[in-house]
Structure 1
């Protein structure tokens, strides 16, 4: 049984992308209490970029494995790439639109994994492995 066949990487990617979105969306609410609990590093840009980079690395590994080994469909990789670009540049439309930008980027990242899971589960080549 391969890593991609049972979808472990896609499931990890969904979790990491979801946690990244929750972090970004909840941060304005939790920021005032962060220094009280010694967690002010959660607001640092390096922390956000590290989580997003980890999410994208897992995502590209999972999606490329699905593409290369099984279904040969590129659109999950496109969705992951566009979602990552949007998420990385979440402030491009200003602070007022940042939550919407985060939601769109996270949706594209998570949907890329869900589509990859579906493509791998429906693929005839996956049944042979």
Structure 2
């Protein structure tokens, strides 16, 4: 059995984990500052989560684009979602209004990429190097 990573599944998981972190963590872990732990609205932690989502998502989408479908639509959805996440870091008063569409766009981009990879098992284009 070959140990291959499904990058779309990992990207969807990371996006859902980010959504859970942003939605549930403030409700259940609001007592963490009493213990000296502050990851709620911590700018460094939030930036690392956005960077992690970007790295996993960009690699996943690039792999699907390059090896399978050559469709830019997942990149567009993903880019708009990441831009909304970055804007959310600076406008914390609108974090819910920016977070919900960002997560929906990122998960939709991964799902679209996954679906297009399954439809086009392998597609050759002029830029295909294999």
Shared fold per TM-score greater than 0.5: yes
The answer as to 2:77 corresponding to 1:79 is yes
Give the helix-richer structure, 1 or 2: 1
> Contact between 2:47 and 2:89, CA under 8 Å: does it hold in 1?
no
SS in 2 for 1:41: coil
2:119 to 88, 97, 122: 122
Q: How many Å apart are 1:40 and its aligned residue?
A: 1.2
1:112 is aligned to 2:109: yes
Confirm or deny that 1:35 pairs with 2:33.
yes
* 1:58 alignment counterpart: 56
CA distance in 2, matches of 1:37, 1:18: 27
Residue 9 of structure 1, aligned match among 7, 10, 34 = 7
Report the TM-score, using the length of structure 2 for normalisation. Answer: 0.81
Query: Which runs of no fewer than 5 residues in structure 2 stay unpaired?
Result: 124-130
Aligned length: 122
TM-score, structure 1 as length reference: 0.81
Bigger mean CA deviation after superposition, 48-57 or 30-39: 30-39
Instruction: State the 1:9 CA deviation.
Output: 0.6
Cα distance, 1:34 vs structure 2: 1.4
Q: Which runs of 4+ in 1 moved over 6 A?
A: none
